[in-house]
C-alpha cells in the first residue's frame, strides 16, 4: 500500500457570514487560526485508490462536493464513490450555502490537498490504536446519555520509518466557541492537528466522530439558538481541549507498531429514510410570525429574563419548523449518504448527518471496536440523526431532525451492511 498526505490553507476572505448559529448575522472580523483542508490518499497494489478528506468547515455541502469531486477525478482518477469529504463541523467557518467565488476557491483548495496527497504517495506501513480522554465532551440531552471518550488514532509511516500522516477521530461537537465569536477558527480540532503535526511530523487529519448529542461541557443547544453566551466557551478552552486530545493521540501513536498492509478499498451508497410529517407550510409560517411578534413584545415589556428567554425559544422553534415545512419536497424521503473506506487496518465510516453517540457505538460494536471509527458530517448533512428513545424524550435534536423515530437504527443497519463488504485487513 502506498499512502500520501497533504494540507492546504482554505481560509476565505473576511466579511463572510459565519456558519452554525442562526442568531449570528455579522461577518467574520478576523482570523484567530487558519482553516485547512487535509487529505490522506491510499493506493493498493491493484491500483484501487481512496481519499479521506476533512475540511475545517461545518460540512461540505452538495455543490461544493461536486466541484471537488470533478477536479479530484480529473487530477487523480479517484472516483466519487471512493472519496469521503467531511467537515470538522467547526461553527467558526464561512457560510457556503450559495455558489460564490469564495466557495470555488475553497473547492480548489480541497481538491489541491487531495492531488498533493496523491502525488506524494509512497510505500507505507500502518497501525491503529485507541486512547481515552475525559473532561471534554458531555451529553447535552435533558436526561443525559452516553459519551464516547475514545480517541482512535491511526499511524501511517513510510517504509523508511518517516511519518506520513496521523489520523485522529473523536466524537464531540467542535463548538467550543459560541455565537459571540466573529473570528475564523478551526476550534479544538485545529489545535489537535497543529500540536500533533509539531510533535510528530507529517500531516494530521482529524475527523469528528458521532457527536449529535455531545458538546464541550454539555451546554444547552437551546441556549445557542437564542444567543446565550456560556462563559467557558473561549479560545483558551479550545486550546485546552485540543491539547488533551493531542497528547493522547501522540501517546497512542508512539505505542502502536505499524505493519505492512495492502488494503485500500472504498464504497458508498444513498439510503432513503422516512421523513417526519410536517404541518402546512403557510400555517407554519403564520405561527412563526406570531411567535416572533410575541417574543418581541415580551422582550420589550420588562418581564423576567426567564419569560424573555422562553418566548425567544418558542419563536426559534416555530421558525425552525416553518423552514422544514417550506422545503421543496416535504413528502420525499430523506436521502443520506453512507460511505466506508478501508485504509490498511483502519475502517473509516462516513455518515452525512449528526449521528447520536449511541448509534455510533452500535456500529463500532458490530464492525470492530478497535479498528473502526465514524466521521459525522461526512459528505454533507441531513441534520440530526437521533435514537428512537430521544424522539420519545423530545427537546432540541429530535425537533431539529427531519427523520421519523427509528430511522437512525435503520441507518445503522445499512452502514454495517455496507462496511461488511470491505476486504479483510
Q: pLDDT category, 111, cuts 50, 70, 90?
A: very high
Residue 425: per-residue pLDDT? 85
pLDDT digits over 147-172, tens only? 999 999 999 999 999 999 999 999 99
Cβ(283)–Cβ(413) under 8 Å?
no
Over range 227-235, report the average pLDDT. 90
Whole-angstrom Cα distance, residue 197 to residue 9? 15
Residue 227 has a pLDDT of: 85
For residue 293, what pLDDT is reported?
96
Closest Cα to residue 340, out of 355, 331, 351? 351
Task: Please state, in angstroms and rounded to a whole number, the distance separating the CA atoms of residues 149 and 353.
Answer: 20
Most distant CA pair in the chain, distance? 71
Mean pLDDT of the 42-58 span: 98
Q: Burial level of 198, CB count in 10 A (0-12/13-18/19+)?
A: exposed
Positive or negative CA dihedral for 415, 353, 176, 224?
A: negative
Interval 88-97: pLDDT, tens:
999 999 999 9
pLDDT number for residue 327: 85
Distance, CA of 34 to CA of 56 (rounded, Å): 9
Mean pLDDT of 72-77: 98
Q: List pLDDT tens digits, range 354-378.
A: 999 999 999 999 999 999 999 999 9
Per the prediction, the chain carries an average pLDDT of: 96
Give the pLDDT mean for 56-84.
98
d(CA 75, CA 39): 14
Give the DSSP letter of residue 17: B
User: pLDDT digits over 284-331, tens only?
Assistant: 999 999 999 999 999 999 899 999 999 999 999 999 999 999 987 778
Contact 286, 294 (CB under 8 A): no
Amino acid at each position: 500500500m502506498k499512502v500520501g498526505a497533504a494540507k492546504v490553507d482554505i481560509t476565505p476572505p473576511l466579511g463572510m457570514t459565519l456558519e452554525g448559529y442562526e442568531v449570528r448575522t455579522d461577518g467574520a472580523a478576523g482570523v484567530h487560526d487558519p482553516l485547512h483542508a487535509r487529505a490522506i490518499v491510499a493506493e493498493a497494489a491493484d491500483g484501487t485508490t481512496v481519499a479521506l478528506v476533512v475540511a475545517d468547515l461545518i460540512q461540505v455541502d452538495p455543490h461544493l462536493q461536486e466541484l471537488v469531486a470533478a477536479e479530484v477525478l480529473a487530477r487523480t482518477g479517484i472516483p466519487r464513490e471512493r472519496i469521503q469529504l467531511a467537515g470538522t463541523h467547526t461553527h467558526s467557518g464561512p457560510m457556503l450555502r450559495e455558489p460564490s467565488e469564495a466557495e470555488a476557491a475553497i473547492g480548489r483548495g480541497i481538491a489541491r490537498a487531495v492531488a498533493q496527497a496523491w502525488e506524494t504517495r509512497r510505500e507505507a506501513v500502518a497501525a491503529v490504536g485507541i486512547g481515552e480522554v475525559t473532561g471534554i465532551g458531555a451529553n447535552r440531552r435533558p436526561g443525559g446519555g452516553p459519551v464516547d471518550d475514545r480517541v482512535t488514532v491511526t499511524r501511517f509511516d513510510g517504509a523508511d520509518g518517516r511519518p506520513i500522516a496521523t489520523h485522529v477521530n473523536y466524537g464531540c461537537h467542535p463548538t467550543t466557541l459560541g455565537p459571540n465569536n466573529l473570528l475564523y477558527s478551526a476550534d479544538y480540532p485545529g489545535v489537535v492537528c497543529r500540536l500533533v503535526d509539531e510533535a510528530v511530523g507529517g500531516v494530521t487529519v482529524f475527523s469528528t466522530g458521532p457527536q449529535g448529542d455531545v458538546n464541550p461541557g454539555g451546554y444547552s443547544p437551546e441556549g445557542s439558538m437564542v444567543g446565550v453566551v456560556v462563559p467557558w466557551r473561549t479560545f483558551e478552552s479550545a486550546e485546552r481541549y485540543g491539547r488533551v486530545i493531542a497528547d493522547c493521540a501522540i501517546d497512542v501513536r508512539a505505542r502502536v507498531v505499524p505493519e505492512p498492509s495492502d488494503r485500500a478499498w472504498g464504497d458508498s451508497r444513498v439510503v432513503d429514510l422516512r421523513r417526519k410529517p410536517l404541518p402546512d407550510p403557510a400555517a407554519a409560517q403564520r405561527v412563526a410570525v406570531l411567535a416572533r411578534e410575541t417574543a418581541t413584545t415580551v422582550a420589550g415589556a420588562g418581564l423576567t429574563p426567564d419569560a424573555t428567554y422562553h418566548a425567544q425559544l418558542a419563536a426559534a422553534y416555530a421558525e425552525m419548523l416553518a423552514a422544514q415545512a417550506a422545503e421543496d419536497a416535504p413528502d420525499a424521503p430523506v436521502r443520506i449518504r453512507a460511505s466506508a473506506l478501508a485504509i490498511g487496518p483502519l475502517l473509516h465510516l462516513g455518515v452525512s448527518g449528526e449521528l447520536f453517540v449511541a448509534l455510533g457505538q452500535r456500529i463500532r460494536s458490530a464492525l470492530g471496536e478497535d479498528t473502526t471509527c465514524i466521521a459525522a458530517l461526512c459528505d454533507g448533512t441531513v441534520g440530526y440523526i437521533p435514537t428512537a428513545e430521544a424522539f420519545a424524550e423530545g427537546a432540541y435534536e429530535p425537533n431539529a431532525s427531519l427523520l421519523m423515530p427509528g430511522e437512525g437504527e435503520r441507518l445503522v443497519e445499512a452502514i454495517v451492511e455496507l462496511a461488511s463488504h470491505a476486504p479483510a485487513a
